Structure 1
Amino acid sequence: MYRIGEIAKLMNLSKRTIDYYTQIGLLNPIRTDSNYRLYGEDCIQIMHLIEHYKNLNMPLEEIKSSIELIKTENGIDKQKLEKHFEQIGILMRHLKEEIEALEPILEKLNGNQKEMVVNKLSSQGVPLAQTLLLLLS
């Protein structure tokens, strides 16, 4: 268990950001008898998810919906799940549009530059593709 200063340092975030995530319900720390907040490993995983979704330019409200879907203990809400997959589809269409817009630029790169871009995309894309395959199988 981590106190707010420890988890802020560990996650490279400000205490204020963690306070905000707690305030809007993204994080649910445990309160001690002296009213200190303690953050567990589940909070670290959620913060990694938040970071991932923020990198995809997803608004915090959508991030919160996605995290609530993941944390659901009483079964899956079909409407929430459908909305979540709809959001993923929108992100995938947006990425496809971005790739198409970048194609002319990519064609101008030399061999070393192309290899560097492919390696960067491969290291990020392979886990994403594996996750999608797992979800869809």
Structure 2
Amino acid sequence: MYRIGELSKHSQVSKRTIDYYTKMGLLECDRSRNNYRYYHEDALADLKMIEQCQQMKMTLHEIKDRITVMKSEDVDPSILEKQVDHIRNEMDHLHNELHEVLQAMEALGDDERKRMLKQVSPQALALFQTLMVFSG
């Protein structure tokens, strides 16, 4: 269990932001008799997921829906449908960006192209390949 300051330190998310997420219902905490907030270990994973979702330009309300679906036994199909639509839109956006990058890379020489590809992690290359298959 973490107090808010400890969670902030471990996650590198400000106490103010953690407080805001808690008030929104994105994070859950237990209260002590002294009214201290205590966060479970899974709050670190929740904060990481929130950050990843924000990088995908999801709103906090969309993130809350995603967390609800992940932690719930009863799944609301409409919430799930919104999430699928959001992911599909992100994939379309990434697909377009990938095509632009690949076209620009064609203008490079073989050595420069190989150097750039070495900078991309194997996981990213696998993701690019998968994205091309599913969106192509």
TM over 0.5, shorter chain: yes
Q: Give the whole-Å Cα distance in 1 for the aligned partners of 2:79 and 2:91.
A: 18
- 1:113 matched to 2:112? The reply is no
Contact 1:21 1:27 in 2 (8 A): yes
Q: Give the whole-Å Cα distance in 2 for the aligned partners of 1:65 and 1:86.
A: 13
- The Cα shift of 1:58 comes to 1.7
- For residue 90 of structure 1, what is the aligned residue in structure 2? 89
- For residue 102 of structure 1, what is the aligned residue in structure 2? 101
Spell out, residue by residue over 1:44-92, the C-alpha distance to the aligned partner (whole angstroms, 9 max, x if none): 221111111112222222111111111213x211221122111111111
Q: Give the whole-Å Cα distance in 1 for the aligned partners of 2:99 and 2:24.
A: 36
Contact 1:31 1:38 in 2 (8 A): yes
- For residue 78 of structure 2, what is the aligned residue in structure 1? 79
- 1:20 matched to 2:20? The reply is yes
- For residue 53 of structure 2, what is the aligned residue in structure 1? 53
The CA RMSD over aligned residues, in Å, is 2.3
| TM-score, structure 2 as length reference | 0.81
- CA spacing shift, 1:96–1:43, aligned 2, 3 Å: same
| TM-score, structure 1 as length reference | 0.80
Q: Give the whole-Å Cα distance in 1 for the aligned partners of 2:45 and 2:126.
A: 20
Q: Which ranges of structure 2 fall in alignment gaps of 5 or more residues? A: 131-136
Q: Give the whole-Å Cα distance in 1 for the aligned partners of 2:116 and 2:82.
A: 38
- CA spacing shift, 1:25–1:128, aligned 2, 3 Å: farther
Q: Give the whole-Å Cα distance in 2 for the aligned partners of 1:124 and 1:21.
A: 30
Instruction: Report the AA paired with residue 119 of structure 2.
Output: M
Instruction: Report the AA paired with residue 85 of structure 1.
Output: V
- The Cα shift of 1:115 comes to 2.0
- The Cα shift of 1:127 comes to 7.8
Report % sequence identity: 38
